[in-house]
Chains A and B, each alone.
Chain A
Amino acid sequence: KAGVTQTPRYLIKTRGQQVTLSCSPISGHRSVSWYQQTPGQGLQFLFEYFSETQRNKGNFPGRFSGRQFSNSRSEMNVSTLELGDSALYLCASSLVAESSYNEQFFGPGTRLTVL
């Protein structure tokens, strides 16, 4: 069974640009969550999508947005990039969203560098 895949793996952008990251969950998984990881703030929850609807949202500005498609694939978008957005962006999928004990499977992440 293929794991969670994220594309691209590495990305370099300049301030003010926007970026779209993609995540393909494990087949059959309907929940996709996004996290940002930086050396200073650690792993921070961005948002979660289930059945094309955003279910939970972390404490990030509106420049960070996402969506989920009918095949459960998800994208996240960051507009008007700032230097502080440089981070590893991780996507995680899980089978069922309604249980608190569902294991989340993480992808390898997309390393975004903002110059």
Chain B
Amino acid sequence: DAKTTQPNSMESNEEEPVHLPCNHSTISGTDYIHWYRQLPSQGPEYVIHGLTSNVNNRMASLAIAEDRKSSTLILHRATLRDAAVYYCILRRTNNNDMRFGAGTRLTVKP
């Protein structure tokens, strides 16, 4: 299985941008890159996903390297409510089996 590597933790100041990196050097051509986050005492929630091109939605942006071996989740203006564990996951085509790594614990300081 293709694996992902993320920093254990990151800190950010409120209302500043946050760039959360993820390495996935063994990604295959059909793997989608997904990001989920888990707020305290809740189940994970979907943030964004992409295949090759950069993606934007109301929550975040996803920047994917040209060789697809790494990606970066961008929160444009961190709020206290964005404090969570962020997971970068590779999902194989036609497969709902999501292999979570340890994720990055994001702390947002006021």
Taking beta carbons and an 8 Å cutoff, which residues of A are in contact with B? 4, 31, 33, 35, 42-45, 48, 50, 55-56, 58, 90, 92, 94, 97-109
Chain A proximity of B74: nearest CB distance (Å): 19
| Contact present for B97 and A92 (CB under 8 Å) | no
CB-CB under 8 A for A100 and B95, given A42-B100, A42-B102, A43-B87? yes
Of all chain A residues, the one with the shortest Cβ separation from B51 is A101
Q: Which 9 A-B pairs have the closest CB atoms?
A: A106-B43, A43-B100, A56-B97, A103-B46, A100-B93, A100-B91, A48-B96, A106-B44, A100-B32
Within 8 A of A (CB), among B22-38: 30-32, 34, 36
Chain B proximity of A61: nearest CB distance (Å): 17
| Contact present for A55 and B44 (CB under 8 Å) | no
- Which residues from B are CB-within-8-Å of A45? 97-100
Of all chain B residues, the one with the shortest Cβ separation from A109 is B43
Of all chain A residues, the one with the shortest Cβ separation from B31 is A100
Of all chain A residues, the one with the shortest Cβ separation from B50 is A101
Of A58, A99, A107, the contact of B97 (CB 8 Å cutoff): A58
- Which residues from A are CB-within-8-Å of B94? 97-100
CB-CB under 8 A for A33 and B97, given A90-B44, A101-B91, A108-B42? yes
- B92 within 8 Å of A (CB atoms): yes
Kindly state the separation between the CA atoms of A99 and B100 in the bound complex, as whole angstroms.
18
Selected A-B contacts with CB under 8 Å, 18 pairs: A35-B98, A42-B100, A42-B102, A42-B103, A45-B97, A45-B98, A56-B95, A56-B97, A90-B43, A100-B31, A100-B93, A101-B51, A101-B91, A104-B98, A105-B45, A106-B44, A107-B43, A109-B43
